[in-house]
Structure 1
């Protein structure tokens, strides 16, 4: 038996954080799941809002709050929450603000899992949805029913980069008394701030441009009305949409370079789009601020100079040409993601929209030769050379 005075006896006790007159320049990482309070009375103070404190990480933790405050500042609001993924943010909004019997009008080119949730999962809870073209307010209006409680849109559609009529949609939402929810992942607050244009709720996949390095999975949700935000928060806590402190810490670090990354990626995207349009095997190029984009005037009115870091294009040929192109560009990650610091390439027919029939994809303008590029911050000359080589390789198949 050990001596009661041995120095190892109290190892289980937590060592107090060192006191210091200096402070860390970098935000500390706090992975603790639980937090100790001095007494039941002080715990009451925390839960009843008289004192700020943490109790259990599922209900909130410092790293999530620091990150949320950063994005709040960008969106011009307060009280946002960080969730475990972009889809958990969407889920917290839908599950927190809708009830059985409610109806949603949603854009018909939302992120694939958002569409699945609206059309396959939410109906199990008695919530129905109708998908409509967000570039056409008349089509959105036609989808409205007496039970419509929410309109859900993305400013720039995925992957055809169409521009929603945000002014008309905001007016429609106000007219019918529905909540306007905007997924601002593609545009980010640097290009578009939804609350300044009539939105009631904003969500983000922080995983993408905001964090920017493909090494975190996080979401963000915020409502203008604190009462609605409380419902979103309670749903997130109840369903356990808890964000990892480490992911929050990494995402905060990513935000420090956000403006630099965003501007460089936009500059590259514009240049790449213009170059792709000159290549003989390219049937069409979609970039919002190009004169030949179907929504060019609306894009410049809404986004100004920020046409997005996304470029979509279509090459001649079918799946064989698509395979040849990706194989000829080994340094461009062929991956179903966007917003990374490096350029990534995705093929909707085999990834995001694979569940649709070829006919349904064709109706949306997505053939086997259709690609979406998330443009990164590389030297634009390198990107132009790589895409030129890849598209030339695809042309040899035809």
Structure 2
């Protein structure tokens, strides 16, 4: 380009280089330029690879989706703005007005709200059942039932779904079987291997792992469904930002190490909590006293996740005392950070439910969920021992 043809407001092409960056570059561009209209046609119609508008896709989302899809053993996954955006894309893409959904009753609180409060306004109906009981799920089916949704390990009670039995039922009845694999991750469980049609993740959690992104992921085994999901994400604006995708891909580089250490810590912490006065019960899928221990052993094959839930013998004052005494552990309605976090479902994830609805799920005022991090286990034991003692003292 001649000097007289340049302008400070015109974009410059990247410098030519025979080398490539080791670290994935961040691509914040909203638009991508084509040589001419025919070249743009080639991109849109699949004859050439490329991008046009970031809402329709960008390199950082593609790189992250490809890595998670490889972990899940599928092709064509899509990154969304959040885990709830991934679930919303499933409903918007795959259901028609009048369709019925059967879902596990042990789901993330916002998902329960979406199913029972928001989707009915759009013409969808939902029934909630125990996902560990295939006969109960079958009894809830109707002629208009089209989709079955479960979490492998439920939030926050850590109950398991009978994935094998439900996959068989879904095949027999022609249902779209959707599995939320957030808690387990593909390193613990791969739903497609056992018959899932669609898998979703809140990438925000353990996959990204540093509490600095909000992202989701959705993939279907069937190419036509993947296309429908992509169209829903693009049309409804459920897409993810390049920066969050860039951070999440970086987080995935240490995922295996974080997963293994956090899981080891969770097992040790569950054993420790079980022996503390003031703890009424401990829920950890790897223990013999877990209500779904047989399912956990069959499905998870020893990878029981980094989550531990337990119930304090405490009211709200005791819970507050517990949280304050555990002040070095973050009290936050999240999971999957490198550091341990504690949450109180009654005041966070499941606050939209009534006390009676929470009680039916086994979530009392004293129910605590722990997302176990990678700290030294002795430090975690000391801090939670002191916190439980503070809760007991508040009751006395």
Fold-level similarity (TM above 0.5):
yes
1:257 to 254, 258, 265: 254
Partners of 2:11 and 2:353 in 1: CA distance: 55
**Which residue of the partner structure matches residue 336 of structure 1?**
333
Once the two structures are superposed, residues 22-46 of structure 1 have per-residue CA deviations (whole angstroms, 9 ceiling, x without a partner) of 1100001110000110011111111
**Which residue of the partner structure matches residue 238 of structure 1?**
235
The offset of 1:345, in angstroms, is: 0.4
**Which residue of the partner structure matches residue 360 of structure 2?**
363
The residue matched to 2:127 in structure 1 has which SS?
strand
The offset of 1:355, in angstroms, is: 2.1
Matched, 1:128 2:103: no
**Which residue of the partner structure matches residue 277 of structure 1?**
274
Partners of 1:145 and 1:139 in 2: CA distance: 12
Matched, 1:147 2:141: no
Residue 261 of structure 1 contacts residue 341 of structure 1 at CA under 8 Å; is this kept in 2? yes
**Which residue of the partner structure matches residue 95 of structure 1?**
92
Once the two structures are superposed, residues 309-350 of structure 1 have per-residue CA deviations (whole angstroms, 9 ceiling, x without a partner) of 100001112111111100101111111111111111011111
The offset of 1:359, in angstroms, is: 2.1
**Which residue of the partner structure matches residue 209 of structure 1?**
206
Partners of 2:237 and 2:380 in 1: CA distance: 41
Segments of 5+ residues of structure 1 without an aligned counterpart are: none
Partners of 2:121 and 2:291 in 1: CA distance: 37
**Which residue of the partner structure matches residue 58 of structure 2?**
61
**Which residue of the partner structure matches residue 389 of structure 1?**
386
Partners of 1:332 and 1:235 in 2: CA distance: 39
Residue 108 of structure 2 contacts residue 350 of structure 2 at CA under 8 Å; is this kept in 1? no
Partners of 1:218 and 1:158 in 2: CA distance: 18
Partners of 2:3 and 2:178 in 1: CA distance: 61
**Which residue of the partner structure matches residue 301 of structure 2?**
304
**Which residue of the partner structure matches residue 30 of structure 2?**
33
**TM-score (norm. length: structure 1):** 0.97
Aligned length: 394
Residue 99 of structure 1 contacts residue 125 of structure 1 at CA under 8 Å; is this kept in 2? no
**Which residue of the partner structure matches residue 186 of structure 1?**
183
Q: Which is further off, 9-18 or 173-182?
A: 9-18
Q: Which is further off, 357-366 or 212-221?
A: 357-366
Partners of 2:262 and 2:192 in 1: CA distance: 25
